[in-house]
Structure 1
């Protein structure tokens, strides 16, 4: 815009020229030449000092040889403060023809404007208007681009927020389903192997662990209950751990609290090289060990492992802790049932005696319980020789007894 002011000064041979844009309360000067201070620094003029406002108001050129002799202008403070005597202003318009301001030529002496000078000023004003239109379009384009970018950013944030809400909702559904499955699946378990089998498909969803291990306490050791149907390398390698071992699971047992290992760095910092080597071989990165509390004592530990780093939030930890409560109840029932079955089997075995050897007769026995695999019932049998009828005589008769309680 300064270039247009210089062109006006050279072409019309005037000491002052400027490009003005008239606003409601002031006049902005994006281009100027020869204007004294402080106007040159601020590049603004109050409307009281603006002859260009007459150009904007009328939409027509304003050509004045001597403003002091013009009834409209002679009282304008710009004449004294800016030294305006002769004035020529051409309208500057936008693409729609709206007058934005004026391209002005100012002389400090009275002046009769030459025949071609208004036309030259008009041509320069047309070129200046075209430049302003380009700048307006460019500004609008930048504004539209900024609005578009803002809208895209807002849409991206909204999409991310929606995805986050969807993930949280899915996690909530997964957690609720986990607790529902745990309450249903583990209520009908019949032994530790059955509990371990049902754990296999209990954990599903977005945060599904890579491995879930069940370790049961026995005096000063933790015994891992192996999956009866699927062979896991974890269960082949470490089946028994002393409670004193520096493993996350044994720590949970010793300290009777949940133990969380977020990554390998934490494992190396707090646990034994044996534990680090074991987890490296298994490919585990994140581990959560939860104590299994029975009605009277601590029964063991549930080990939940992920191969990739996994953030266990407050809600997920609460859900897993609640699920471990169902698992602990199932383990307690299974241990009680296994103990009763063990005692019953011992009693049954005591009632199924070894058969004697008898001359002239072959004796064999078959015990077939009603429940396949249990070998438990009230059945019994025995065979034994009666005392001889007389001293020194032949052996007594063979007595066979078979019973059912």
Structure 2
């Protein structure tokens, strides 16, 4: 499988995830996503230990395998994924010499198998996210792509667990230091509290400055991030320094004390300017002088996966930290390193979530006789990944209305701001599409009701608001039919520049409420009309009245409604949400072009 040392480190990482032969909520969710996305009867999150494989996430297991959630490693096809470090895809395991004799084929009925590696940050393959079928099956390229994407998201969840465990270890080490550094206990305690939920490197930078200002009374606190062999200074937007722009980045081999601290993996003290001038470059002295420093220390930031940057603390007077203060600074550096590592992992996880969300926001179809445009803007806050979405797709012809062409449009908002919300959004979007396409003759209300029934039966914890509509073109022109499950009201711009607010709505989308009545509403759309659907991020912000914001939206729609739709949506988002929106926003506009003689 691997060398003894590598295998030991791999198994150590497995233990640090905290996952074993028992169900885990997040791993169960990934297994469920695989089963539903690939329509596989069995899906597993399988982690391969020395002598067994365990299933913290499982769908479709029966008998003792479901009860004990483990099997001997001899029964494992996933061990081949771990050993080879690459996907294993089999249309019929019984015909493959590598695995045909594996007991799982006979005892578990494994026939078709597709497994993707689950890795930690060091590249160790911890197990496999796999789909299993009990009959021969050729996995499509799209299915394998979906499985690989889900494995990447699952790997990010494992890495986040490892980073959190490392942060917990760092906090424990800092608490031990607190016993020998009582005078600085308050600093370390505040560091453990305030740094624990830092969401970005910039957030770490700002919190650092506030943390050390009181106890250590420094004149300057600087943070540099290691990227591709270079140190990049992280600016503090609340306390800008010219030097952080003039010397924004430098090589780790540069003659700077901060670069030396990273190379030597130890604290470097600069007791005075003379020592700095004797041992380092003129540029380092110029930077020191521009900050008004007389003394400084530079500390490497080393997390569990290696160095992530350098912390610099400087004073405008002679200051030589004693042993207790050095211990405090080293403990603070450890907190900062692991917090930065966690922030970087969180950023990776959010990137995966946003990629998942973005994949669901497909291009709008070209529809003869209609213009359409959509816009999605994520929240300005990095860790706010929402469940907002839009959708538009053509509907098949209905037998009793052969001359009619129809288009389904949807805007929705699933509750939550994390990868779970993005994943639930994808499921809800796909299930609503299926409900609509299975029964194209029924209206939007019936589709929403079918969606709620499906979520209730599958125990899918999706809640939020949805506006689902159908645009149908017949002999008399375009007609709009819609059903509103607690969503902000659509707005309609009429050809004479008046606006209508379509207020009719039912209760929120909340399958736990049972089977609330859903209602269809209908109106004709005159040539030159523009329909606007949007999520609450456009109008609902702290300190702002929602009703007034909807009124402002109507005014802007009337003022700018003659613009191309893509420009109109950008204008609405800029004017109402601004560059730093607190929530993500989805907008969808549909226009019936004016008649040629208008």
Change (3 A) 1:373 1:328: closer
2:248 to 210, 235, 239: 239
User: 1:24-70: per-residue Cα shift (whole Å, max 9, x none)?
Assistant: xxxxxxxxxxxxxxxxxxxxxxxxxxxxxxxxxxxxxxxxxxxxxxx
1:277 to 269, 283, 286: 286
User: 1:321-367: per-residue Cα shift (whole Å, max 9, x none)?
Assistant: 11211112211111111111122223322322343454422313354
Return the offset for 1:255.
Answer: 1.6
Change (3 A) 1:236 1:357: same
Query: Which whole-Å CA distance do the structure 1 matches of 2:275 and 2:214 have between them?
Result: 26
Tell me which structure has the larger Cα radius of gyration. 1
2:348 aligned with 1:339, yes or no?
Answer: yes
CA contact 1:221–1:243 (8 Å) conserved in 2: yes
Return the offset for 1:381.
Answer: 3.7
Return the offset for 1:188.
Answer: 2.4
CA contact 2:243–2:290 (8 Å) conserved in 1: no
Matches within 5 A, 1:178-189: 178-189=187-198
Instruction: State the Cα RMSD in Å.
Output: 3.3
Query: Which whole-Å CA distance do the structure 1 matches of 2:404 and 2:292 have between them?
Result: 71
Q: Who is 2:206 aligned against? A: 197
SS in 2 for 1:190: coil
CA contact 2:273–2:295 (8 Å) conserved in 1: yes
Query: Which whole-Å CA distance do the structure 1 matches of 2:225 and 2:382 have between them?
Result: 24
Return the offset for 1:385.
Answer: 5.8
2:319 aligned with 1:310, yes or no?
Answer: yes
CA contact 2:303–2:338 (8 Å) conserved in 1: yes
SS in 1 for 2:253: coil
Change (3 A) 1:239 1:368: closer
Return the offset for 1:262.
Answer: 1.0
Query: Which whole-Å CA distance do the structure 1 matches of 2:333 and 2:381 have between them?
Result: 31
Change (3 A) 1:250 1:371: closer
2:336 to 327, 330, 333: 327
Return the offset for 1:288.
Answer: 0.5
Query: Which whole-Å CA distance do the structure 2 matches of 1:205 and 1:370 have between them?
Result: 33
SS in 1 for 2:373: coil
CA contact 2:297–2:313 (8 Å) conserved in 1: yes
Query: Which whole-Å CA distance do the structure 2 matches of 1:371 and 1:247 have between them?
Result: 35
SS in 1 for 2:371: coil
Q: Who is 2:236 aligned against? A: 227
CA contact 1:174–1:205 (8 Å) conserved in 2: no
Query: Which whole-Å CA distance do the structure 1 matches of 2:190 and 2:213 have between them?
Result: 10
Q: Who is 1:353 aligned against? A: 362
Gaps (5+ residues) in structure 2? 1-180, 413-424, 428-598
Q: So what's the TM-score if we normalise by structure 2?
A: 0.35
SS in 1 for 2:226: strand
2:394 aligned with 1:362, yes or no?
Answer: no
Moved more, 303-312 or 348-357: 348-357
User: 1:262-313: per-residue Cα shift (whole Å, max 9, x none)?
Assistant: 1111111111111111112222221211111211211111111112221221
Query: Which whole-Å CA distance do the structure 1 matches of 2:298 and 2:281 have between them?
Result: 16
Query: Which whole-Å CA distance do the structure 2 matches of 1:372 and 1:272 have between them?
Result: 39
Return the offset for 1:207.
Answer: 4.2
Which aligned runs of 4 or more in structure 1 are off by greater than 6 angstroms?
Answer: 368-373, 386-389
Gaps (5+ residues) in structure 1? 1-171
Return the offset for 1:256.
Answer: 1.5
SS in 2 for 1:333: helix
Query: Which whole-Å CA distance do the structure 2 matches of 1:239 and 1:309 have between them?
Result: 26
User: 1:80-114: per-residue Cα shift (whole Å, max 9, x none)?
Assistant: xxxxxxxxxxxxxxxxxxxxxxxxxxxxxxxxxxx
Change (3 A) 1:372 1:331: closer
Q: So what's the TM-score if we normalise by structure 1?
A: 0.50
Return the offset for 1:204.
Answer: 3.6
User: 1:193-226: per-residue Cα shift (whole Å, max 9, x none)?
Assistant: 2211211111145741111111121120112222
1:296 to 305, 311, 321: 305
SS in 2 for 1:302: strand
Q: Who is 1:255 aligned against? A: 264
Change (3 A) 1:339 1:360: same
Query: Which whole-Å CA distance do the structure 1 matches of 2:206 and 2:234 have between them?
Result: 10
SS in 2 for 1:187: coil
Q: Who is 1:266 aligned against? A: 275
SS in 1 for 2:346: helix
Change (3 A) 1:365 1:300: same
Change (3 A) 1:336 1:206: closer
Matches within 5 A, 1:144-223: 174-205=183-214, 207-223=216-232
**Aligned residue-pair number:** 231
